[in-house]
Structure 1
């Protein structure tokens, strides 16, 4: 619930969260809330500040760039291997694209962004390196947060994202590594630029 509220923008970046207030709103004791906040700290949603409590983390421009640089390195390597081995896209690709498009029509940005991460994670895992898949998935909470923010503040980007997903699927189907990598580069590099622009 707290993580969803952060994704939805109910709690702003930099805002301190009161355990007692959260417990009252949820209708529980403070212990489960405290445990939830510790999980959210591990997922980089909040930062626990001594004697002040949990603060919603501010995602800096530098961190955004680093997240997407790491993402591109891992996913582009997977794409190259997939195309070299002529594996084609993961079998669940079409189903995920259609589910994302349904979420997009419903303006459910959280669901869309969660599915988007499953879509890209499936590409990374399709090349067969489970460890790289785990490393990639460790970035998921922050990527979902940035994805929700991008679509909340710039919903006109939705049609572009959907088109790029289908272009990437087609390029993987054609075993075209350079084209797939080029599509991925354009697809993911826009997000940190947009989020930074919205923050000005």
Structure 2
């Protein structure tokens, strides 16, 4: 019984730290101190340590000898690589999903687009964006690939969310591209739908990397 309780506490701590990392509350390179987190959350150091190991496996935390844990910093080349993985996996998933996709899937995706249009939900953009893509790929019935893809999304979400919040143009273009993808899926046009998806992911990638390079040149 105690072992089950510890695992539950670990998951609660991991969920809280993951949320802070993906929202930007914990910034890349920032140290995550076990003692401080344990005190703040009212738990022992054991579930905090286990949660950090879990997040390390997800790529969100880096455990450094003699320094402890810090939020993983991704280089532009690593971010570009993760986007390439996204294109490969999501194209494959979407192509398999379209023949099984239903109107209820598409309506759910459109509701998520509407939620993302609401400025009050901007802090939840990453979660909503993942739910949008997940909804479209679920009919493919590829649960193992979906788990891998979720991890890829989590690793680049904090960067994408920052990009989306920089300008209204970025937000509006994302909304238009999402709706175009849904429309193509509704028409069962797999070739067009996958092409639109690839263009969408590539556009986010190019804009994000351009802003990261620009930011580095100013520092």
TM-score of the pair, normalised by structure 2: 0.78
* Structure 1 residue runs without a partner (length 5+): none
Aligned to 1:61: 76
Alignment pair present for 1:184 and 2:197: yes
Displacement of 1:172 after TM fit? Answer: 0.8
Query: Is the deviation greater in 107-116 or in 3-12?
Result: 107-116
Q: Number of residue pairs matched?
A: 198
**Runs of 4+ residues deviating >6 angstroms:** none
Could you say which residue in structure 2 is the equivalent of 1:109? 122
1:7 maps to 22
Structure 2 gap segments, 5+ residues each = 1-15
1:40-86: CA deviations, max 9, x gaps? 21221110111111111111112111111111112212333345x4x
Counterpart CA distance in 2 for 1:102 and 1:155 is 15
Query: Closer, same or farther in 2 for the Cα pair 1:57/1:155, shift >3 Å?
Result: farther
Of 104, 107, 110, the match for 1:91: 104
Residues 122 and 102 of structure 1: CA distance in aligned 2, closer, same or farther (over 3 Å): closer
Query: Structure 1 residue 88: deviation in Å?
Result: 4.1
Matched, 1:149 2:162: yes
Q: Kindly state the Cα deviation for residue 90 of structure 1 after the two structures are TM-superposed.
A: 6.6
Whole-Å Cα distance in 1 between the matches of residues 34 and 59 of structure 2? 18
Structure-2 separation of matches of 1:132 and 1:186: 21
**After alignment, is 109-118 or 165-174 more displaced?**
109-118
Structure 1 position 162, deviation (Å): 1.4
The 1:138/1:13 distance shift into structure 2, 3 A limit, reads closer
Cα deviation 1:5-62 (Å, max 9, x = unaligned): 2222222211222222222332333223222212221221110111111111111112
Structure showing the higher helix proportion among its residues: 2
1:36 corresponding residue in structure 2: 51
Instruction: Classify 1:48/1:162 alpha carbon distance in 2 versus 1 (closer, same or farther; 3 Å).
Output: same
Given that residues 89 and 172 in structure 1 are in contact (C-alpha distance below 8 angstroms), is that contact kept between their aligned partners in structure 2? no
1:126 maps to 2:139 = yes
1:103 Cα deviation from its structure 2 partner: 4.4
Root-mean-square deviation (Å): 2.3
- Determine which structure has greater relative contact order: mean sequence separation of CA pairs < 8 Å that are 6+ residues apart, divided by chain length: 1
Q: CA deviation at 1:180?
A: 0.9
Which segment is superposed worse, 114-123 or 45-54? 114-123
Residues 1:194 and 2:192 are matched in the alignment: no
With over 3 angstroms needed to count, the CA separation of the structure-2 counterparts of 1:24 and 1:198, relative to structure 1, is: farther
What's the offset of the Cα at 1:116? 1.6
Which residue of structure 1 lines up, in the alignment, with residue 3 of structure 2?
A: none
Task: Assess if the C-alpha contact under 8 Å between 2:185 and 2:193 holds in 1.
Answer: yes
